[in-house]
Every structure is written in C-alpha cells, then in structure tokens.
Amino acid sequence: MGDLLAARSQMAVSLGFHILFAVVGIAMPVLMVIAETRWHRTGDAMYLELAKRWAKGTAILFAVGAVSGTVLSFELGLLWPSFMRFAGPIIGMPFSLEGFAFFAEAIFLGVYLYGWERISPRAHIAAGTVVAISGAASALFVVIANAWMNTPAGFRLQSGSPVDVDPIAAMLTPAAFPEVLHMLLAAYAATGFAVAGIHAMMLLRDRRNAFHRRALAVALIVGVPAAIVQPFSGDISARYVARWQPPKLAAMEGQFRTQAGAPLRIGGIPDVHAERTRWALEIPDGLSLLAFHDPHAVVRGLDAVPRRDWPPVPIVHVAFQVMVALGTYLALLGLWIVLETWRRRDLAANRWLMRAVALASPMGFLCIEAGWTVTEVGRQPWIIFGVMRTSDAVTPMPGLIVPFLAISALYCFLGVVVVWLLYDLVMRSPITRESDGAATAPAAA
C-alpha cells in the first residue's frame, strides 16, 4: 500500500467511525428531551426512565465521539499539511465555531446528567435543549467546511496562494445549504430508526411491554418526519451536484457520455474500460428530469473532463445506489407508519410493521456511510475541487501504513467497548406491561 492510499484509508476509517457517533450526538439529545417533557406532562415514570437511559447513552457516545473527533483534527494537520496550510485561513472560522458548539454541548450535557433534582425542571429541560441545539450546530459548521472543499469560494488565487480571503463567503458556498440539510435530516432519520428498531425487536418478543412501546413512539417522532422529507433534500442535493460538480454526478449515475435526455440508472456496474454501465435498469430522460427538472436537458458525462480527473466511478456509483435504496426504504416505511397512525391502529400489534422497523435499525447508518463515500470519493482526485489535488496535499513522511493499522486497531477496540456498553444498557430495560390502557410502574433497573 502506497503512502497516499494509506493516508486516504486512514482518513476514511477515522471519518467512517466518527460520523456514527456524530449523528447520534445530533439526534439522541432530542429523544431524551422529548421523553423528559412527556414525563412532566403525563407523570408517567417510564418516560423519566427513558430520558435517563438515553442521557447515559448520549454520554457514552459523546465521549467516544470526542476522542475520534480529536483524532480526525490531528490527522488533518499531520497527513494533509499542504491542505491545512492553504485552507486554514479560509475555513478556520467554521472550525472555530464548531469548537464553541462542542464546548457548549459538553458543558450542558454535564449539567443535564448531574442536574436531576438539583435544578428546576424548566432549567433541566433547557439544558437538554441546548445540548440538542449545540450538537446540530457542531455538525452544521463541520459540514460547512466540507461544503467549501466541494465548492471553494471566498478567496482569490495569486501565485498559487489564497489572497483576499472572505471567511463569510467561504461559509456560504453553493454546497453549504444542500449538504447541511441533507446531513441533519439523515442524522435524525438514522438515529430515530436505529432506536425504534431496537425497541421494535423487543416488542416482537413482548408486544405489551409498556416501556418499549413508549420508547418506540418517541423514536418514531424523530425518525419518521426526517425520513419522509429526506428525498426532497436529495432532490436539492442532486441539482446542486449537477450544476457545480458534473463529474461527481456522472460517476454517481455511471454517465460516461454527455447526453441530452440522459437516462436514470437503477443498479448496474460501471465498466470504466468500455465506458458503459452494464446491467442497469434505465429510465429514459430520468436523470435529466431529476437533475435539471427538464427531461431534455443536457447532462455532462465523464467524457467532458480529462480521464485523469475522473473519480473512482464504480465505487461512487455503487455507494450512491446503496444510499438511494436504503433512503427510499426508510421513506416508504415512514409513510407506512404515518398511515397506520392516521388509522389509529396499534403499531406494536402489527408484527409485519415491527419486523420492517427492526430491519431498518442499521439502515440509516449504512445510508450515511454510503452518502459520505459518494461525497468524498466523488470529489477525487481533488481534495479542494478544481484547486488542489489530493496527491499534492499528502504529507511527504514515509511509512503511513503504520499509523493506519494502529488507528484501525484502536477503532475496532473502541467499537467493541461501545457496543457492549450500549447492549448492557438496552438489555437492562424494565419489564412493564400495558393493562387496560394503563401502564404499570417500571421495575428497578
């Protein structure tokens, strides 16, 4: 493995690991605040139990996310010094603001965890709300920095160096709104359905368990709306990519030649040597319609850019197909849940629905991993699109395979520890049953 591939692989592993904890840090505080609010409104002690358990889970995931995020920040400087030298003055502001959001999240999470019965209920819920807002803000600023890498702005090149830097313009690039919207919705959908899936599995064993019924309801309140709205966010993102990053769109769709009325491809494997996508189901004019809202619009193919500027087409195309398939499943499942709720049916009594929700549990996270693969691999060979190539940004230090293997081993260890802790937290759920429309008090954990 060469040093460039080792550096890219290390960043891929680090980002792929960290992003799971980042998205949970965005959405889990919303779940715990909703649960606590319902406890105050209904007096149902099971909502209090839920809020406390989800707060513990949030703390565990926040701690691991903080560690993995710190590793990522070091890797940016150590593995990509040329990138940081160039981009630091431009995107330093969103990274600084992300630091403030992170500190606010840490401080108020501490207040929330240790404030039970020490501060007023309103102040306690306010602390949890700040945790939720800070988590979303932290993600917002990081995604804004990534958006700048996809559509760089806010500076002028002079002798290969950035001058006339405008940090506000750098934060408000064309990619900023589509990426932020898509990421936040993905976080709420993924986390909501992950939590709902766990409790759906429990309800398949005992559908009268009141604790899991309440947990399922709160999780779906967060996950379902985000999953239903997400396809509209995807439409916005597709149109932005079509305009600002045509090679990425061409790789996503396996579109090798520039074409008016380009077809939308479902499935298939791109053959780079033959410059065609094999075994795909093609919908005539579909890509032109989705990307430009015009079935006859011209879509630029990979033939519009030099071969050396092509992204790894098969990886991008397959990742995009996985993302769309999983996102579509979650959206359709969300509509099914809305329909059943509108009909006032008992969700937990519908075993097929509970199976579908349980199956969806990992799908949101897989969808996010696939989406970030599209975003990052689809930008290659550029680390800053059209400005700096990834090969020019990597450190000249040799032997990068060593830290890559070490970091990968560390993440595997952390992953096992986190899964064990969360499994123990879930399996200690109280055994409570619905009886005549009322719930018994939760048993001691």
Fill in the amino acid letter for 171.
M
Output the pTM of the full model: 0.90
- Determine the pLDDT at residue 426: 65
- Assign 133 to helix, strand or coil: helix
- Determine the pLDDT at residue 133: 93
For residue 298, what pLDDT band results from cuts at 50, 70 and 90? very high
- Quote the mean pLDDT of the chain: 88
> How much is the average pLDDT of 411-424?
76
Percent of the chain with pLDDT over 70: 95
- Count how many Cα atoms sit within 13 Å of the Cα of residue 326 in the half-sphere of its side chain: 23
Task: Write the CA distances from 408 to 59, 65, 269, 396, 402, integer angstroms.
Answer: 23, 15, 29, 21, 10
Number of Cβ within a 10 Å radius of residue 391:
13
Assess contact for 10 and 75: CB atoms under 8 A.
yes
Domain boundaries, the chain: 3-158+168-428
pLDDT tens per residue across span 307-347: 999 999 999 999 999 999 999 999 999 999 999 999 888 88
- Determine the pLDDT at residue 445: 29
pLDDT tens per residue across span 61-81: 888 888 788 888 888 888 889
- Determine the pLDDT at residue 430: 58
Residue 25 is encoded by which pair of tokens?
A: 């840090």
Instruction: State the residue for tokens 């993924």.
Output: 190
Nearest to 31 by CA among 229, 188, 207, 142: 188
- Assign 353 to helix, strand or coil: helix
- The span from the CA of 237 to the CA of 8, in Å, is 25
Nearest to 301 by CA among 312, 310, 292: 310
Q: Across the strands, what pairs with 269?
A: 278
pLDDT tens per residue across span 179-238: 999 999 999 999 999 999 999 998 998 888 888 899 999 999 999 999 999 999 999 998
